[in-house]
Amino acid sequence: MLSKKYLAAPIQPEMINPVLYFSFPEIFIPREQYFFPGGIDERKNTITNKLNIPDVADISFRRTSFTYPECSKADIGISEYPVEQLMLYATVLKEYAIAEGYDTAYAFFVNMGVLSGKKRFFVVNLSSMQAEQSGLVSQGRGSGVSKYDKQYSNIVNSKCTSLGKYKITNKYKGFYGNSYRMTGLDTTNDNAYKRNIVLHSMGCIPDEENAAPACISEGCPAVSDNFLLSLSKIIDSSKKPVLLWVFDSNLEEVVIRKPKNYHSCSLHLHDKPALP
């Protein structure tokens, strides 16, 4: 069952180098602040939220100063990601889907900033703005000497995950069974089709969270067999391409311009991913 406050099972996160953010007229939206908490609808096993979501024009993203170390001996990332922040991404992507003619019923989101053994692939209902499902997903192996090295690249043969928005296109039968080709919609992932980056399942990825990291891929967002079946129901029933947004919340932060209940005296604590 999904956690009441988070989309991954709650584990007390370690915090390093906490930074106080003070800015005007822009404000960084931290975890557990600014939004009203949601609850669980036990009948549907979904997260329900009464969120004070700002207009899409007021939402922007900016890079953080965080960088992943090389040759890491442990998985690096956050263990929890608030649904409130995910809905900011969903708000932006819904407006993009409307403008570009993509499916506006559902969208998929992958936060690679979450530990790979935690559920970080999220299915969001864009009508109700609810996260209905979550699952494990692989990351690209890249060229690092450690399987824990987290690298992003759009270069052909890099074997890396590419951040950015994708449209999910035609279904086909591949080496891993049913798979879906994807087209990158940003400059950070526009080689995805050329690189054969597709959505597929792998038997080494479990359905449930595990202390051990999920297995790695050649750059594809691979999920468990059962989770792909759930995703297929949404993709196959849609008359328009479903969108997938792959991002890393450790490398970018959400900024809201002039929120209604902003107070200039507010201080906000931004927790960083734990290093080994």
pLDDT in tens, 74-107: 999 999 999 999 999 999 999 999 999 999 999 9
* Domains parsed from the chain with CATH numbers: 19-270 (2.40.440.10)
| pLDDT tens digits for range 202-232 | 999 999 998 877 789 999 999 999 999 999 9
Following DSSP, what letter does each residue of the chain receive, concatenated? ---SSBSS--------S-EEE--SSEEE--TTSSSPP-EEETTTTEEE----PPPGGGEEEEE-S--PPSS-SS--BBS--BHHHHHHHHHHHHHHHHHHT--SSEEEEEETTB-TTS--EEEEETTTTEEEEEE----B-TT-SSTT---B--STT---B--EEEEEEEEEEETTEEEEEEEE-STTTTTTTTTT-EE-B-TTS-SS--SSPPPPBSS---B-HHHHHHHHHHHHH-SSPPEEEEE-TTTEEEEEES-TT--TT--EEEPPPBP-
Residue 261: pLDDT band with limits 50, 70, 90: low
pLDDT at residue 79 in the model: 93
User: What value does the mean pLDDT take over residues 140-158?
Assistant: 89
